[in-house]
Amino acid sequence: MKKIFLLFAAACVFAACDPVSEDIGNGGHITADELKAMSTVTVDKAASGKNGNVITCSTSAPVNAKWDIGGKEFVGNYAWKKMKLGSYSVNLTALCADGTVVTAEFPIDCQEITNPLEKIYLFGSADNDKPAVLGPGDAAAGRFSDGEGKFFPYLSDDIYFGKKTLVFDIIAAEEGKFIWGDDFGCTCRVMNGWWGATYADNVPLKVGLWELPITDAIANDCAQGGSGKDLDILMTRGSITVKSVYYEE
């Protein structure tokens, strides 16, 4: 709860400098039903009549608002986001003038791509002919560091604190022994470059697209605006060949 109030406090400071922001000085609070009645969450429509993949959110409620759209947070009375196809729950958390916190939930279904997500490449490209090979026990190979990594660059704070999902295009995967035992497979550990934290272990990998969501813990540990420890993908069994790493938005 402390984290939510700190987030809203930052929003209040921003609103104080923004003449178009809504004044929430109503001295009271609204109910969750009132919040939902004063808020809208819509999806654009495809030519076929199906739901598109762009979610637009707005509220006229006299509150400081925080939207959670598919796990991504946006502070403000208005937000929008391009999505992958699928079903989502859009959540609105509101801080009322008297300090009361209320929430509203909006189920959304994205059925057809109307606005394709753009791929932002961090390593390689769609036609990269110099892929990265991550071998077992080689922490430098999968380290996102301009100074100590072999292939991958530093990630910006916008990527970390924007909670992007990294997509690894794996074009080859070879099984091998566990580096501390005899079990065969192709697995990795998601950690930071200072060996201080493990975020996921024994993650099975195969040819295809592997998605790695940036979590709060990863962002706080690895961003330069956090502790500054590099995100690292350590192969614990086998090896993979990575054609590209990107995120979509």
| Per-residue pLDDT tens over the stretch 16-25 | 333 333 444 4
Q: Round to whole Å and give the CA distance between 142 and 152.
A: 7
- The single residue listed with the structure tokens 């699928």 is 86
Strand partners, 232: 143, 191
Asked whether the predicted pLDDT for residue 5 surpasses 80, the reply is no
Measure CA 234 to chain center.
21
Q: What proportion of the chain, given as a percentage, has pLDDT over 90? A: 78
Q: Residue 13: helix, strand or coil by DSSP?
A: helix
Q: Confirm if 203 and 238 have CB atoms less than 8 A apart.
A: no
Q: What are phi and psi of 218, to 5 degrees?
A: -65, -45
Instruction: Specify the higher pLDDT residue, 132 or 4.
Output: 132
Q: What is the pLDDT of residues 106-153, one digit of tens each?
A: 999 999 999 999 999 999 999 999 999 999 989 999 999 998 999 999
Listing DSSP states for 164-200 in one string gives -EEEEEEEEEEEEEETTSS-EE-EEEEEETTS--EEE
Q: What's the predicted TM-score (pTM) here?
A: 0.74
Token representation of residue 142: 């999968």
Q: Round to whole Å and give the CA distance between 35 and 41.
A: 12
Q: Round to whole Å and give the CA distance between 52 and 77.
A: 22
Q: Round to whole Å and give the CA distance between 190 and 198.
A: 6
Q: What is the pLDDT of residues 146-194, one digit of tens each?
A: 989 999 999 999 999 988 999 999 999 999 877 666 778 999 999 998 7
